[in-house]
Structure 1
Amino acid sequence: MRNLSQKINSEVARLYTERRNRAHQVRDERQAGLYRRHPELKALDEKLTAAGFAKLKAALETPGRQAEVSDHFRRLEEERSMLLTSLGLADNYLEPAYHCRACRDTGRLEGGWCPCRKQAVQSILPVYLPDPMDREATFSAFNLNLFEGEARAVMADYLQMAQIYTGHFDRIRDRNLFFTGTTGTGKTFLMQSIGHRLMDEGRSVVYVTAPNLFDIIMRYKRQQLSYRPDPELLEEAEMLYNAIYGWDLLLLDDLGTEMATQDTIAQLITLLDARQNRKLATIIASNQAHHKFSETKYDNRITSRLRGNFLIYPFMGSDLRLTSKEGR
């Protein structure tokens, strides 16, 4: 069974192959269209191809004719350049329009990976996270009619807030949000809608529930402390760990459902502080009110961070899951 890193690498390779094939297909279609409209261009390109072979053959078999053949090839090039100018085409009109011009959709540059590979991994990794996001969770699918009375008005404001949040993600000062409310009041759906919109705009977003978050951290720490860590398990754990610590937006759901210990409290404080110091955004959803965290599982250090570094959004209404079930 392949591990996570192997699956990711395979998906990334497939993505780059698809991009290259698409770029070449578009190039070929464009060339065919130009040849249909300008048959003289096709004829000249065919002459250039034949002259190129003749030039190579002369270099290998008849060196005495090399100057003559090269001169003929140069004149054809000049003729082609003049024709392209008259048609309003650049000399490199047959260059494929790669998604990434730097690496030509290979993912590699001389000396290492192309920066676009990180973006490719970021677009693929969420599928393999322990908590995949609901694809239906989008702003357009957010149904305010499911809410009644005051809850509907509040959720309309929250939906508008979320759209402004994503539309001005780079410029807003307060990017940490805390969604609190009882089960089934739309916290996860709105959180994931924000995530999907930012992912569509090229942002790196990781969604994870609290129990799985602490499991990821523990697996990474375990591999780090191991005398002989498994290279594949370490790479996998490091990939997930780096995502929750370093991606643009962390969506942490169901905080408070995990088994709280001194270790998990310390890990949560470290994570929140690290992301705050790096100016990375975090959105947390919990069924518990933020001011009750110190009364239940967490101490005042967590409550202080939530109050000081997060905008608090209380969600209202009854359980939408039960409401929709009763309506069926």
Structure 2
Amino acid sequence: MNNKIKNDIEKIYSDRRIAAVRLQERRKQLVYTQIPRIKELDNLIRATCVCISHAKAGIRPGERLLAAFPAAVQYYFDMSEEELNSELNRLKEERQTLLLDANIDLDYMENTYECNLCQDTGYIKEDVVLRRCACYKKLLVSMLKKQSVMFNEEHTFDAFRSDLYSDVVDVEKYGIDSSPRKHMETVLACVKAFTDNFDNPSVGNMIFSGRTGTGKTFMANCVMSQLLESGKEVLFMPANALFKPFAVYENEERETMNDLRDMIYGCDLLIIDDLGSEKMTSSRYSEFIDILNTRAAGGKKILITTNLSPKNIRDTYDERISSRLLGMYDIYRFVGDDIRLKTR
């Protein structure tokens, strides 16, 4: 997760906690106005709890603490722990009766958080370990989707239609010894396995290679959709925009581009769409190699879609790049007719 998303999430939780405190205060004032005795009871309950903690420790509170309580409850400090617990139960019962008689929910003044499980902190303590709350994951997924401009909730594996591919075997036309439909169903199974086992270090990178209109970008979006749902950070970059963050920028745009560059290097999955459409220069060759090497060193995966065949990749890029792409990536060939013509 990049720092911007992390900071944005922390800001959201901070705002939620502030809102919860304000809502709680408003609700208290409404109840106190309607039933003044509730305010008295809340003060008495707090005083009783303080006295119980001191009684358990076997110490008497100092003069400053005594002065903070009304004279009417000072005698609490002379009561035994057993007497104090009995008094606390009596006060709570009276409070509960007053609220119920007024048809006010017993938790009305307490449960003001959006998530009462973590109290809008995003974390739950299990034993001595802090773990992310389910609401944190939900918020993270929402922000990752918002960040990913190419995200389309309709592009999922369940929406994949093998019937858009021909079931006719035509080796001369398609270059494979099975039908495009059967071939693409096999590709789908392999891509699903990649996504399901994404955290497995042995699962490598992928290249979707094929003619325009054979479903490469759709399939890449399916991968992105499932990974985003699991809380992974996915960056979808058109190849012709991949190097934009590496240029020199000024002022506010520089910060944005720095964040984007950090994501290119550090996101869980980088999707480079339509490789071969970008204009390569000597500096871009170096930047591209740096991206490939840095992500490989960090165990970060890449998915590439391209109209180029393996031979075209070798002819288009120099040895430093082509050897990495052809030697370190699983290449899946997308075949068939232009399915876009069948979905209009």
1-structure distance, mates of 2:200, 2:5: 35
Matches within 5 A, 1:86-101: 98=115, 101=118
Q: Which residue of 2 aligns with 1:311?
A: 330
Provide the TM-score with structure 1 as the length reference. Answer: 0.68
Is 1:51 the counterpart of 2:49 in the alignment? no
Summarize the Cα distance change of 1:70–1:197 in structure 2 as closer, same or farther, 3 Å threshold: farther
User: Counterpart of 2:335 in 1: which secondary structure?
Assistant: coil
* Aligned partner (choices 298, 318, 336) of residue 299 of structure 1: 318
Q: Which residue of 2 aligns with 1:264?
A: 284
Summarize the Cα distance change of 1:118–1:46 in structure 2 as closer, same or farther, 3 Å threshold: closer
Question: Percent identity among equivalent residues?
Answer: 27
Following TM superposition, by how much is the alpha carbon of 1:271 offset from its aligned partner in structure 2, in angstroms? 0.3
Q: Which residue of 1 aligns with 2:298?
A: 278
Larger CA deviation: 313-322 vs 73-82: 73-82
Following TM superposition, by how much is the alpha carbon of 1:235 offset from its aligned partner in structure 2, in angstroms? 2.4
Q: Which residue of 2 aligns with 1:67?
A: 75
Q: Deviations over 1:152-184 (max 9, x none)?
A: 111111111122222211225132001100101
Q: Which runs of 5+ in 2 are unaligned?
A: 24-37, 51-64, 94-109, 124-130, 168-178
Matches within 5 A, 1:62-211: 62-63=70-71, 65-68=73-76, 71=79, 74-77=85-88, 98=115, 101=118, 104-105=121-122, 123-128=142-147, 131-149=149-167, 150-171=179-200, 173-211=202-240
Following TM superposition, by how much is the alpha carbon of 1:186 offset from its aligned partner in structure 2, in angstroms? 0.7
**Contact between 1:180 and 1:312, CA under 8 Å: does it hold in 2?**
yes
Summarize the Cα distance change of 1:235–1:294 in structure 2 as closer, same or farther, 3 Å threshold: same
Matches within 5 A, 1:6-45: 13-14=11-12
Summarize the Cα distance change of 1:145–1:133 in structure 2 as closer, same or farther, 3 Å threshold: same
Code of the residue aligned with 2:157 in structure 1: it is: F
Summarize the Cα distance change of 1:319–1:21 in structure 2 as closer, same or farther, 3 Å threshold: farther
Q: Deviations over 1:12-36 (max 9, x none)?
A: 74577569989x99xxxxxxxxxxx
2-structure distance, mates of 1:19, 1:142: 42
Q: Deviations over 1:244-272 (max 9, x none)?
A: 11011111101111111112221111101
**Contact between 1:12 and 1:124, CA under 8 Å: does it hold in 2?**
no
**Contact between 1:51 and 1:69, CA under 8 Å: does it hold in 2?**
no
2-structure distance, mates of 1:186, 1:209: 16
2-structure distance, mates of 1:99, 1:143: 42
Following TM superposition, by how much is the alpha carbon of 1:99 offset from its aligned partner in structure 2, in angstroms? 8.1
Following TM superposition, by how much is the alpha carbon of 1:151 offset from its aligned partner in structure 2, in angstroms? 0.9
**Contact between 2:197 and 2:203, CA under 8 Å: does it hold in 1?**
no
**Contact between 2:217 and 2:273, CA under 8 Å: does it hold in 1?**
yes
2-structure distance, mates of 1:132, 1:141: 17
Summarize the Cα distance change of 1:94–1:115 in structure 2 as closer, same or farther, 3 Å threshold: closer
2-structure distance, mates of 1:236, 1:121: 19
2-structure distance, mates of 1:19, 1:321: 48
Q: Which has the larger radius of gyration?
A: 2
2-structure distance, mates of 1:94, 1:101: 12
User: Counterpart of 1:254 in 2: which secondary structure?
Assistant: strand
Summarize the Cα distance change of 1:309–1:100 in structure 2 as closer, same or farther, 3 Å threshold: farther
Q: Which residue of 1 aligns with 2:339?
A: 320
User: Counterpart of 1:196 in 2: which secondary structure?
Assistant: helix
**Contact between 1:179 and 1:284, CA under 8 Å: does it hold in 2?**
yes
2-structure distance, mates of 1:100, 1:199: 24
* Aligned partner (choices 262, 267, 271) of residue 242 of structure 1: 262
The structure where helix makes up a greater share of residues is 1
Larger CA deviation: 244-253 vs 73-82: 73-82
1-structure distance, mates of 2:5, 2:327: 40
Following TM superposition, by how much is the alpha carbon of 1:294 offset from its aligned partner in structure 2, in angstroms? 3.4
User: Counterpart of 1:171 in 2: which secondary structure?
Assistant: coil
2-structure distance, mates of 1:61, 1:139: 65
Code of the residue aligned with 2:281 in structure 1: it is: T
The number of residues matched between the two structures is 275
2-structure distance, mates of 1:70, 1:312: 80
Summarize the Cα distance change of 1:137–1:242 in structure 2 as closer, same or farther, 3 Å threshold: same
User: Counterpart of 2:198 in 1: which secondary structure?
Assistant: coil
